[in-house]
């Protein structure tokens, strides 16, 4: 995952991902609200969070929970990465 993904997840703005970036929706654990495949889909989702404050807050809480999960698992994925690049 690139640093931009971490920045997006940590922000107070809802992060959206192009489905081609993460076609299996691994980053957001299958929650398809965070994925878009075209402009209209993005517009519709932005309008949903603009028009429903409770939903926007729930969405951000979920997003931050996902980020925290990655942070909690940091020692595991760092060890796996080090193992993968060992020669």
Using one digit for the tens of pLDDT, what is the confidence trace for 19-64?
A: 999 999 999 999 999 999 999 999 999 999 999 999 999 999 999 9
Which pLDDT score is estimated for 54?
Answer: 98
**What gap in Å lies between CA 81 and CA 55, rounded to an integer?**
36
Q: Which residues of 71-80 are buried (b: 16+ CB within 10 A; e: fewer)?
A: eeeeeeeeee
Identify which of 69, 75, 18, 15 has the alpha carbon closest to the alpha carbon of residue 7.
15
Which pLDDT score is estimated for 44?
Answer: 98
**76-87 pLDDT per residue, tens:** 878 888 888 885
The pTM for the full model equals: 0.80
First to last CA, the chain: 22
Q: How many CA atoms lie within 13 Å of 68's alpha carbon, on the beta-carbon side?
A: 6
């Amino acid at each position: 995952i690139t640093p931009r993904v971490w920045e997006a997840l940590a922000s107070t703005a809802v992060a959206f991902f192009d489905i081609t970036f993460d076609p299996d929706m691994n980053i957001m654990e299958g929650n398809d609200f965070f994925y878009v495949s075209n402009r209209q889909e993005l517009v519709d989702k932005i309008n949903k969070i603009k028009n429903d404050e409770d939903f926007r807050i729930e969405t951000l809480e979920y997003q931050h929970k996902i980020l925290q999960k990655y942070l909690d698992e940091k020692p595991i994925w760092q060890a796996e990465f080090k193992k993968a690049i060992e020669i």
